Amino acid sequence: MLRLFGAGFVGAFLWSWFSLDMSIISFFAGLGDVRNLLGRMFPPDFSNWSTIVNATFETLWMAVIGTFVSALVCVPLAFGAASNTTPHAVVRYVCRGIISLTRAVPEIIFAALFVVVLSIGPLPGILAIAIHSIGMIGKLFADAIEQTQASPREAITSVGARRLQTTVSSIVPQAMPSMIATAMYRLEINIRASSVLGLVGAGGIGFVIQDSLRSLDYQAALAAVACIFVLITAIELISAQVRQSLLGENTNVLANRRQSGYAKRKVARDTARNERAIRDRSLTPPWTSERILRTSSAVVAGLMLIVAFLLVDMPLLGALPRYPDLILVLGDLFPPDFSTARDELVKGMTESVQIAFVATGLGLFLSVPLGILGARNIVVRRVIVLSTRVTLLLLRGIPELIVAVIFVSAMGLGPVPGTLALTLVTATFTSKLFADTLEEVDPSPREALVAVGASRVQEFVAAVVPQALPGIVSQTLYILDVNLRSSTVLGIVGGGGIGFLLLGSLRVLEYQTTGAVVLSIFLIVYFIELVGSIVRRLLR
């Protein structure tokens, strides 16, 4: 079955490649134009500094609130979607369907719908981010729950614990580190997403970027993008530290041997504090550096959330009278109309699917070596890991649609520049996911192989790959359905796919045509979701 799945993916990639008239030669030929365009964007123009900073902070607060709301909603959804916590298939498939539906509609489409009813401002953007984030956070939360070890749950159940007690005592502690890491990673994504929502009037720095691009003021646009990059860099650094702390004992012992003198002294101090607490029979855990980091991170996150709610112009109560109108607009999407723009719908959807497969395939080709080079417990030289992570961070700091604008401006309209832009974005995101997955492997099998004289290659192939493969396959399927959604908005900037018809039907108030497009995307994404569930079960 797995071989059949792999063959099907390769076949779809080749079909898409030739159908889109992809050519490596044309790509390299366009690099000169891309280089010229980038030259025109430097140096960045910060003359409108106050506007850029205010819009940047508004983007941050929108992302913080949207991520928090989404994470709250996703907790019950994830437990309902996980097979090891929900024995009822109907509940499981309903929860999975809700998660898939929210992923099927891009944030910018949600935002455009909400702006029609709720007017221009950050509130439509926050709602769009919160609803769309359910797709990723809910899915990865459910995957984290399903990947927990069964033995602690069976032990607690054997002594008479109820289902709720079993879940709280055995599943939540195992899944929590991955869930926190997912929420922080989604915050990074939402910062980038909120930076382009201003294209449809949903607040944030997107309006500044849009205005600069429309006036061909590329230097001012680069200044706005630079501010977003600084923001993403800060979140990335904080996320990496918290993630390393949460992994705790899962960090490879072999990597600990390469720590700096300061890090070794810190570990020694923490070990002494733990031993003293055990000897004194302390009822509370000692304040080690790890506990201080986790506690301070939680406090900072709470303060950021409070500040976000206080500073963002988000008239929740004032918008209450318009919420029924929002429901009516969403209701106007149904029944979907597949006949009015049937030819454009078929052509656009086919092109979007082809773009997604090619971008996913090319992105995976680049992601595997980059993911290995970015894993701290795999690569010996820390400078290689650091340089890889920094490079990926630099590339991830550029919003997806901005990358597409650069390629379209350099290579012209059509699916080829859109595909190459999505490939670059896919490679940077997938590489980070792959590197994080490699870092989460259990070090015990690796240590056992090293003890009997295995080489680093043998250790990697025999101990790391089997553990990481289920997560990598799951992430690959996730990236594929992410790219299916992303390819639907590339048409907004001329990058091919169904995006032009999607936004055009929305602007002329042909909501039933919009509903047809959204339903088509949902069915494809849900199909990928079902295939992913089957493949994950085969890998267990």
Q: What is the distance between the alpha carbons of residues 130 and 115, in angstroms, rounded to a whole number?
A: 15
Residue 487: CB partners within 8 Å, gap ≥ 6? 351, 352, 353, 355, 356, 359, 418, 422, 496, 497, 498, 499
Has residue 127 got a pLDDT over 70?
yes
Residue 467 belongs to a domain: yes
* pLDDT attached to residue 253: 38
Instruction: Residue 374: count other Cβ atoms within 10 Å of its Cβ.
Output: 26
Confidence of residue 2 (pLDDT cuts 50, 70, 90): low
| Shared domain check, 245 and 118 | yes
| Shared domain check, 440 and 345 | yes
Last residue of a domain, one of 306, 331, 356: 331
Q: What is the pLDDT of residues 6-54, one digit of tens each?
A: 788 889 899 999 888 887 776 666 667 777 777 777 888 888 888 888 8
Residue 420: CB partners within 8 Å, gap ≥ 6? 27, 407, 411
| Shared domain check, 523 and 405 | yes
Has residue 401 got a pLDDT over 80?
no
Residue 239 belongs to a domain: yes
Q: What is the pLDDT of residues 277-300, one digit of tens each?
A: 666 666 566 777 667 777 777 788
| Shared domain check, 310 and 207 | yes
Has residue 250 got a pLDDT over 70?
no
Residue 233 belongs to a domain: yes
Residue 438 belongs to a domain: yes
| Shared domain check, 103 and 171 | yes
- Between 67-76, 109-118, 300-309, 365-374, the lowest mean confidence (pLDDT) is in 109-118
* pLDDT attached to residue 15: 92
Helix (H) or strand (E) holding 380: none
Query: Taking the model in full, what pTM does it have?
Result: 0.73
Query: pLDDT: is 247 or 459 the higher one?
Result: 459
Instruction: Residue 37: count other Cβ atoms within 10 Å of its Cβ.
Output: 16
**Region 503-526: what's the mean pLDDT?**
79
* pLDDT attached to residue 249: 42
| Shared domain check, 344 and 209 | no
Q: DSSP of 437-450, one letter per residue?
A: HHHTS-HHHHHHHH
Confidence of residue 145 (pLDDT cuts 50, 70, 90): confident
Both tokens of 83, joined, read 């097979």
**Region 503-516: what's the mean pLDDT?**
81
Query: pLDDT: is 435 or 524 the higher one?
Result: 435
| Shared domain check, 124 and 247 | yes
Q: What is the pLDDT of residues 413-454, one digit of tens each?
A: 788 888 888 888 888 888 888 888 888 777 788 778 878 887
Residue 194 belongs to a domain: yes
| Shared domain check, 102 and 22 | no
- Report the candidate in 178, 184, 55, 190 with the shortest Cα–Cα distance to residue 132: 190
Q: What is the distance between the alpha carbons of residues 27 and 76, in angstroms, rounded to a whole number?
A: 45
Last residue of a domain, one of 331, 346, 380: 331
Q: What is the pLDDT of residues 449-477, one digit of tens each?
A: 878 887 778 878 888 778 777 777 777 87
Mean pLDDT of the chain, nearest integer = 78
Q: What is the distance between the alpha carbons of residues 327 and 335, in angstroms, rounded to a whole number?
A: 14
Query: pLDDT: is 32 or 266 the higher one?
Result: 32
* pLDDT attached to residue 121: 80
CB-CB contact of 408 with 493 (8 Å): yes
Residue 282 belongs to a domain: no
Q: What is the distance between the alpha carbons of residues 324 and 520, in angstroms, rounded to a whole number?
A: 26
Has residue 530 got a pLDDT over 50?
yes
| Shared domain check, 348 and 307 | no
Q: What is the distance between the alpha carbons of residues 465 and 454, in angstroms, rounded to a whole number?
A: 15
Q: Which domain does 137 fall in, by range?
A: 45-153+164-269+293-331
Residue position matching structure tokens 């790890």: 290
Q: What is the dihedral of CA 19, 7, 100, 88, to 10 degrees?
A: 160
What distances in angstroms separate CA 343 from CA 26, 178, 264, 348, 415, one per listed residue?
28, 44, 65, 8, 17
Q: What is the pLDDT of residues 308-327, one digit of tens each?
A: 888 887 666 556 666 677 77
| Shared domain check, 207 and 175 | yes
- Between 46-50, 108-112, 186-190, 529-533, the lowest mean confidence (pLDDT) is in 529-533
| Shared domain check, 357 and 314 | no
Domains of the chain: total: 2
Residue 272: CB partners within 8 Å, gap ≥ 6? none
CATH code: domain of residue 236: 1.10.3720.10
Grouping H, G, I as helix, E, B as strand and the rest as coil, residue 81 is helix
Q: What is the distance between the alpha carbons of residues 526 and 530, in angstroms, rounded to a whole number?
A: 6
Instruction: Residue 1: count other Cβ atoms within 10 Å of its Cβ.
Output: 9
Q: What is the distance between the alpha carbons of residues 238 and 76, in angstroms, rounded to a whole number?
A: 27
Give the 3-state secondary structure of 284-313: CCCCCHHHHHHHHHHHHHHHHHHHHHHHCC
Has residue 257 got a pLDDT over 50?
no
Q: What is the distance between the alpha carbons of residues 329 and 422, in angstroms, rounded to a whole number?
A: 31
Residue 280 belongs to a domain: no
Instruction: Residue 278: count other Cβ atoms within 10 Å of its Cβ.
Output: 10
| Shared domain check, 79 and 37 | no
- Report the candidate in 354, 363, 350, 352 with the shortest Cα–Cα distance to residue 478: 363
- Between 249-258, 386-395, 402-411, the lowest mean confidence (pLDDT) is in 249-258
Task: Identify the top-confidence range among 163-177, 178-192, 314-328, 524-538.
Answer: 178-192
Residue 22 belongs to a domain: yes
